[in-house]
Structure 1
Amino acid sequence: MSNSYHRVKMCAFRQPRNCTLTLIPDVQRLVQGSHNIEEIEYYWLEWRRSTGLATRQQFVAFMDLYKKTAQLNGFVHAEDYWFRNLELSCHQATTLLNELMTSLRPLFLQFHAHVRSSLRKMHGERLVPRGRPYPQHLAEVFLGNAFRRPRANWFVDLPSPEMDLANITDALHRRGLSTTQRVFWNVAEYYRGLGLPQLESSFWSHAKPVTTSNEDQCWHKAWRFYAMSGTNFSFCPLNDEERFFDMFEAQCDLHYFRAATAQPTLLREEPFPNFSNALGKCFSLAASSPRYLRKLGLLQGKQWWGLPSRLNRLYMQGLRIIFLLPVFYVLDRYRVEVLSGHIEADDNEAFWRLTQMYTGATAPHRRNNEQFDVPAKLLMEVDDQYTSQLLSTVLQFQLYIHFGSMTGQYLEGSADRPLDLCDLSDHQEIGPGLLHAMSLGSSLHYKEVLQQLLGTGELSMKGLLTYFQPLQDWLTLQNRQHGVEVGWN
């Protein structure tokens, strides 16, 4: 199924004989720059026809085989097998997920209401009616633009439209960080300042460039060799904002792989998938703090940590982060419901009920069981457990608030030291505990690792909610002042 997704081609909207378009980057670029509602809707429907409906029988067969695989591995209930990497039963995992989603709900409802109001201004009340879920195809374009480094004026209701968004790419070249090698060693120095081991000076000579013409596939990556203690590194030659912050994530993986070599080969994995990713994203988030970027010479002037600029930054980050969490939840909730026998594997109407309930989105036209849209939303991998990605995002902010409190960079209730401005650089007290947690690999349950690292074994949404609290306050006030309806029927 994954291979068919990668190979699928779509026909062009105005050139039906040109059937050479791939979803990424061809169709993605077309719809991101389009103001033609018919064109956007065409590609939304065409993708689902080419992938979801085309792989219906394969998806049903896969879910059936998954149930049999669970039984052969000793699991009475297939839904428990789904969460085996967390070492939690289905009941334990779904209870945790429901608690996290309940905590997120107030923030998500306010943000959803504001985005729906923006979509209504752009497309009219006929397409975006009041009090209803917003059209998924229009929302995907709106949210997708948050990943494309747009200018501030693209978003009609940005908190502070008079303040432009920081251009980190230009600043990197102005500062002299104009090559990937220079960025690599600056980031290596950042981690040394946290108290992690210094990378050997010869390390870069063994790094290899990524060879791809697709910008969306060009990222930095650390590699490990299970039978040996060595690590290697491949880098993307592009030098822009996305690759700059990605370097923090990739080098964190590098330190994780090296620390985990203290364990036997079979215990060098993460406590749960994407655990290391949460660590890397935590420090990438810390590196995006205006206070650190000013220290690095990438931002000039204190206006970047004034409330207007902070709200713009939080708004853009929120579009990229907050709206994905309910989607991750639905993708796993649907498949768990199938595995537990509550719904059929190809119950398209059940999928849309969950989608509308938790994400506040609806299809441009009513979708029934004659269509099948689930595979089209599975981001190319039908057996990915998106629970681990959701938990990784939650952990990212939980780590950030913990390290911020530990270093005194964050003080609860302080206007001078809010979490979104927290700069962790040069705080060597972070290193020992972090390195110890990395060295545990998967030798302990993730709750025991968290207990040693954070002082609690439970995942909490508090870090994320604290980080976005200024934005939630602004959204709530704006929605109230402009009579924007919150929630949907």
Structure 2
Amino acid sequence: MSWFNILLTFLLFLHVTLGNEPKSVDEELQKFLHRVNDRLADLYNKEVLAAWQNEIKGPNDLVALLQSDIATQEIISYLKKISTKAAKFKRLNITDEKLKTQLAKIPVVGYEVLDNDDLDTMYAVTTNMSDIYRNVKLCSFTDPNNCNLTLVPDVQHILHSSKNIAEIEFYWLEWRKKTGTAAKDDFIQFVELYRKTAKLNGFAKPSDYWFRDLEENSVEAFDLLDNIMTQLRPLFEQFHAYIRSELRQIYGSELIEHNKPYPQNLAEIFIGNSYRRTEPEWYVNLPYNDVGLPNITEGLFKRALNNSQRMFWNVAEYYRSIGLPQLEEKFWTDNTMPRADTDDVTCWHKAWKYYGNQHVNLSYCPITNEERFMNMFEAISDVYYYQAYQDQPTLFEDEPFPNFSDALGKVFSMAASSPKYLEKLKIIENKFTTKDARINRLYVMGLRTIFLLPVFYVLDRYRVDVIDEKIDVSNNCAYWELTEKYTGAEPPIVRTNNDFDAPAKLLMEVDDQYTSHLMSTVLQFQLYKRFCELTGQYKQDDPNLPLDLCDLSNQTIIGPLLLDAISLGSSKSYKDIIYMLTNDNELKLDGLLEYFQPLYDWLVEQNKLRNEEIGWTNSDRCVS
């Protein structure tokens, strides 16, 4: 063979070899993620459609429930199928940051990583604990033979109007006996299996797995939370002292001692009454009872906003007025359906997103009142949010942390509750913008907001410390130490480590995370402050432009700013998105503190006039 032929053969071989060279890692990952996004969109949409059908047909629609279970199992099976390949990609050198972020957004398998026996046990114990909270029946204080009372609404209605200390204490103990004590063995098994789940999913500590959706490890998460609790403390202590004084006037100084935590059962009833509607049987002693609170439900009917459709278009017009695109005329007829369940406790408006297309549904509650009016602002906020990010890949069609969208919705429901806006709509009279009326409103809002944040903190701190083995599950007093330190409450009677009180406060889902609820609340006020400053509706230390009277309607600068941020979905970190909205990439409590500043000043003044002590000494109501 000639040298020419040898060279030609070598060049041909080289061409074929280079032509068949394996694709780069980024190219292979891009193909993989494209398939994952398409498949997950199909599977997620099956799940959403089943849930939507259940919403509009009723919570016991067997076909919808079966379809939902099948869709969920399909998602789990698919995630397990791709988990090995996803893990391999994570070990490779990926240069494209967007692809790397998408890869990180593939959900972990979760409990399904457990072997079959452990998985069956995990499902059994979590289902059992959930059923205990959902279905528990309590015995009657007045009729011991009647043990068929539900916590909500049966016992709730009794406690809201009862002044009988023995009766109140009875139900407090009955609830803990029927829930906490009954769930203890299941909770212990849950903790053990949760630790195993975290390890098998590749997390160094169970607490890091707990905070996996927050882009923070457990140390960073609690640094943030501890900082928030420290900033909240002065306002909380003043509010706590005032409420303790109010409780003392109701129940006497023997039960409500000076310089001590207040009994949790009595405080919960007092605070819980703030959630009741404005009506003749108002149970909260307002700072200015002669001024009262506006009856917004009555005002809605006077303005003919007396059905869900009229509410919807009024709220849609509000969002158009802040610079967002107008919802199509056919949205109401094509995309909305009434909920089948119209129970006053569970009936709310809700937006439903679908993946990979521009479709969003809305299930609306036919009930018309103040709560549903404000809830409509939150639901329509979600409609805009879901529409804004639906050009993103499926893995980015989400909020940057759980309850981020809830914070946005509540920004606008809070703005809609501004007396200035309601006065503009002629729903309330202008007398409710006076200083006394503002204090009344902030007082009730504070009862509903400020007292929740420490409770959220305690519930997650306790569970995280348990799963990280910093607290023993049987150490009931450790739970009460946290409760006393952060909420200023103690048990009404002596408790010991033979009792098990924490799960009685964990509501229905033992692994539901409360940190994201706390972060969402902080973000809500942070965004509100920013939007009000940006539009000139709030100026710090200007008595004519206080934050609690800020009205954002017709402020068209907000819409474009909002759209730019929410269109990113979860493609950027929550800190990046917060920075776009606020020029600050950290969650800060400044917005909440400035919003409630008039209330704080009033509380300081009142506590001095009453000679009330601030803070509390250690409780002796739990004995190890």
- For the Cα contact (< 8 Å) 2:451–2:487, is it kept in 1? yes
SS in 1 for 2:352: strand
1:114-125 equivalences under 5 Å are 114-125=242-253
Aligned match of 1:422 in 534, 546, 550? 550
Aligned to 1:200: 328
Alignment partners' CA distance in 1, 2:280 and 2:511: 37
Does 2:501 match 1:361? no
Q: What amino acid is aligned across from residue 371 of structure 1 in structure 2? A: D
* 1:393 paired residue number: 521
Partner SS state of residue 217, structure 1: coil
Matched, 1:166 2:298: no
Q: Tell me, what secondary structure is at the counterpart of 1:119?
A: helix
8 Å contact kept, 1:282–1:396: yes
CA 1:156 to 1:54, structure 2 compared with 1: closer, same or farther past 3 Å?
Answer: closer
Q: Does 1:214 align with 2:214?
A: no
**Equivalent residue for 1:32?**
160
Distance 1:148 1:156, change over 3 A: closer
In 1, are the aligned partners of 2:404 and 2:520 still within 8 Å (CA)? Answer: yes
Please point out which of 265, 269, 272 is paired with 2:398.
269
Q: CA deviation at 1:14?
A: 1.1
Give the 3 Å change call, closer, same or farther, for CA 153–119 of structure 1 in structure 2.
farther
Q: Which runs of 5+ in 2 are unaligned?
A: 1-128, 618-624
Q: Distance in 2 between matches of 1:368 and 1:190?
A: 54
User: 1:367-391: CA deviations, max 9, x gaps?
Assistant: 1111101111012111011000000
Question: Aligned partners of 1:36 and 1:218: how far apart in 2?
Answer: 32
Partner of 1:52: 180
- Aligned pair partner of 1:243 in 356, 372, 384: 372
8 Å Cα contact 1:134-1:360 kept in structure 2: yes
Counterpart amino acid of 2:237?
L
Q: Does 1:438 align with 2:566?
A: yes
**C-alpha displacement of 1:339:** 2.0
Partners of 2:592 and 2:281 in 1: how far apart? 26
Kindly indicate whether the alpha-carbon contact (under 8 Å) linking 1:152 and 1:164 is maintained by their aligned counterparts in 2: no
Give the gaps of 5 or more residues in structure 1: none
Deviations 1:265-296 (A, max 9, x none): 11111100000000000110000001100111
Alpha-carbon contact 1:394-1:461 (below 8 Å) kept:
yes
Equivalent in the alignment of 2:358: 229
- Output the CA distance in 1 between the equivalents of 2:512 and 2:616: 29
Deviations for 1:445-469, whole angstroms, at most 9, x for unmatched residues? 1101111121111000000000000
Runs of 4+ in 1 over 6 A off after TM superposition: none
**For residues 4 and 365 of structure 1, what CA distance do their matches in structure 2 show?**
24
What amino acid is the match of 1:27? Answer: V
1:296 is aligned to: 425
Structure 2 length normalisation: TM-score? 0.77
Q: Is the 8 A contact 2:276 2:282 kept in 1?
A: no
Q: Describe the SS at the equivalent of 1:54.
A: helix
Q: Read off the aligned partner of 1:129 and give its amino acid letter.
A: E
Deviations 1:401-451 (A, max 9, x none): 000000000011100000000000011110111011111111111101111
**Residues 284-341 of structure 1: CA distance to partner in whole angstroms, max 9, x if unpaired?**
000000110011110122x211110000000000000000000000000101111221
Match of 1:79 in 2: 207
- Please give the alpha-carbon distance, in whole angstroms, between the structure 2 residues aligned to 1:77 and 1:33: 46
Q: In 2, distance between residues paired with 1:214 and 1:137? A: 27
Q: Which residue of 1 aligns with 2:48?
A: none
Secondary structure of the residue aligned to 2:362 is strand
Whole-Å Cα distance in 1 between the matches of residues 287 and 313 of structure 2? Answer: 36
Give the Cα–Cα distance (whole angstroms) in 1 for the partners of residues 143 and 287 of structure 2. 40
| Cα-to-partner distance string for 1:200-234 (whole Å, 9 max, x where unaligned) | 11111231112225211011100112254311011
TM-score for both structures, normalised by structure 1:
0.98
Q: Report SS of the residue matched to 1:428.
A: coil
Whole-Å Cα distance in 1 between the matches of residues 284 and 504 of structure 2? Answer: 29
Contact 1:11 1:20 in 2 (8 A): yes
Q: Distance in 2 between matches of 1:354 and 1:120?
A: 23
* Aligned residue type for 1:211: A
Q: Does residue 531 of structure 2 align to residue 403 of structure 1?
A: yes
1:370 aligns with 2:506: no
1:97 equivalent in alignment to 2:245 = no
Range that drifts further, 253-262 or 106-115: 253-262
Larger Rg: 2
Given that 1:151 and 1:165 are in contact with CA atoms closer than 8 Å, whether structure 2 keeps it comes out as no
Amino acid at match of 1:190: Y
**1:159 CA displacement:** 2.0
Native 8 Å contact 1:53 1:371 kept in 2: yes
The answer to whether the 8 Å contact 2:271/2:448 transfers is yes
Assess if the C-alpha contact under 8 Å between 1:118 and 1:156 holds in 2. no
Residues 165-208 of structure 1, C-alpha deviations (whole Å, 9 max, x = no match):
10001000011111111001100100111111211111112311
Supply the AA of the counterpart residue of 2:590.
K
**Matched position secondary structure for 1:410:** coil
Please state whether the residue corresponding to 1:232 is helix, strand or coil.
strand
Look up the SS of the partner of 2:496 in the other structure.
Answer: coil
Whole-Å Cα distance in 2 between the matches of residues 168 and 433 of structure 1?
A: 30
- Paired with 1:110 and 1:152, the residues of 2 have a C-alpha distance of 29
Aligned length: 488
Identity of aligned residues (%): 55
